[in-house]
Chain A
Amino acid sequence: MPELVQAILQGDRRALARSITLVENDTAQGQQTLDALFPKTGKAHVVGITGASGAGKSSLVNCLVDILIQQDPKLQVAVIAVDPTSPFSGGSVLGDRIRMRAIAENPNVFIRSMASRGALGGLAHNTQAVSLVLDAAGYDFILVETVGAGQSEVEIASLAHSVLVVEAPGLGDDIQAAKAGIMEIADILVLNKADKADVDAAEMALRSMLAMGYPSTKTDGSVWVPPILRTVATDGKGVAEVVNAIQAHAEFLHSTGTWQQRDQTRLRAFLHGLLERKRNQEWQQFIQKEEFKQVLKKIYIHELSPYAAVEQLQSISFLKNSH
């Protein structure tokens, strides 16, 4: 077993941080490390936290982790906080740690900021891989905070076992809540900033949205109905109830056998993502080639339609079999 892998399994935080960088940077050594760690994964409960920017995700994470650790001092909790990368410079300012003061020095907590590096689903391409490294390192809970999400950044649903969608008053009416996308992926709805004026109207909009999604709520426990929980994350109000809800959701997943389903969804999405990126890299190499430039020229003079061009390129054995 490589030295780095052994160090991670023994709880060496420096080695853990190093290997996360290797995985994040798509290095060969990172991939080998993950290969070696993979048999040790599959125990952590991954909690996704998503919602609009400014809704209070980081403050909520700070409180959630603080309460989890207080309830069980032996618990190990990791946080992956994703912030956007500038499309112009490729750089980023990762500022989620600012709100995580209460947990910053706890030896059972590991916080890692990640830049999205061009990925559009609210996470970075390698967030899943990083969560697996933390899983192997023995973290019981891994909280993944997405970039400030609009409506369709729903990738977190295929990474987390439990998804928290954080809302705040004043962000939209009931039609916003009825739209497809981010509201659909919530296992737990958190209405943060509940000390603000419009909180009742905001809760009403969320309730009516839920009522449409779960018309005949079964009470036998076979269906999970997302609870709506009010919080004021900056002073911790209501956050203990969110922790309870996460634990209840984890229990629900285990008792109904759906935990495994979610886990398989996660792994399948991971594999799909890797294959897609590999194919994309091959494509990037292909567009350097002469055939591609020829076809492009014909499109530029409106002689060949882009659809017909795809057919033609396939026949030059590009999309069909690139090996």
Chain B
Amino acid sequence: MEEKKIRVLIAKPGLDGHDRGAKIIARALRDAGMEVIYTGLRQTPEMVVQAALQEDVDVIGLSVLSGAHMSLVPRILDLAKQAKLEDVRIFLGGIIPAEDAKALIKLGVKAVYGPGTSTTQVVEDIQTLFEKA
């Protein structure tokens, strides 16, 4: 019997060592019935995109708290395009100033979540994306 699950890669690119937020999101998505591939800390953009490709995920969730989002995220978007992962939706969470968020959304990031975002909102946003499809 056919069974489709939403697959999400949760990755922490860059050098900050705080993965509590990423783990909370991973757990919330699990509890919503999704399959979450968790890659752990200190991922290079290349590792993130390779993992997304091999795992054939529908969504990449990035967590960046280091302030390096303006160099890491465009690089990941670029590599994803090169790997022909255009249909993979990229979400970003962390400490992202509003103007950076605007710029990254322009570059192709689907949504940016700041501190205080409820896990329910993230879950619903992802579910809505795939209900339409």
Q: Which A residues fall within an 8 A CB radius of B?
A: 13-14, 17-18, 20-21, 25-28, 85-86, 89-95, 97-98, 101, 104-105, 110-113, 115, 117, 281
Cβ A105 vs Cβ B50 within 8 A? yes
Known A17-B54, A18-B56, A104-B47; contact A98-B40, beta-carbon cutoff 8 A:
yes
Name which residue of chain B comes closest to A22, CB basis: B56
B34 within 8 A of partner (CB)? yes
B interface, size bucket = 20 to 34
Name which residue of chain B comes closest to A90, CB basis: B33
Known A17-B53, A105-B44; contact A25-B36, beta-carbon cutoff 8 A:
no
Cβ B31 vs Cβ A86 within 8 A? yes
List 27 A–B pairs whose Cβ atoms lie within 8 Å, in order of A's numbering.
A13-B53, A14-B83, A14-B84, A17-B54, A20-B56, A21-B56, A25-B2, A26-B3, A89-B33, A90-B33, A91-B30, A91-B33, A92-B30, A92-B36, A93-B26, A93-B27, A93-B30, A93-B36, A95-B37, A97-B37, A97-B38, A98-B38, A98-B39, A104-B51, A105-B44, A105-B47, A113-B35
B107 within 8 A of partner (CB)? no
Cβ B1 vs Cβ A281 within 8 A? yes
B55 within 8 A of partner (CB)? yes
Cβ A25 vs Cβ B3 within 8 A? yes
Residues 24-72 of B contacting A (Cβ, < 8 Å): 26-27, 29-40, 44, 46-47, 50-51, 53-56
Cβ A97 vs Cβ B40 within 8 A? yes
Cβ A26 vs Cβ B55 within 8 A? no
Cβ B54 vs Cβ A90 within 8 A? no
B20 within 8 A of partner (CB)? no
Residues in chain B near residue A90, CB distance under 8 A: 5, 33
Residues in chain A near residue B132, CB distance under 8 A: none
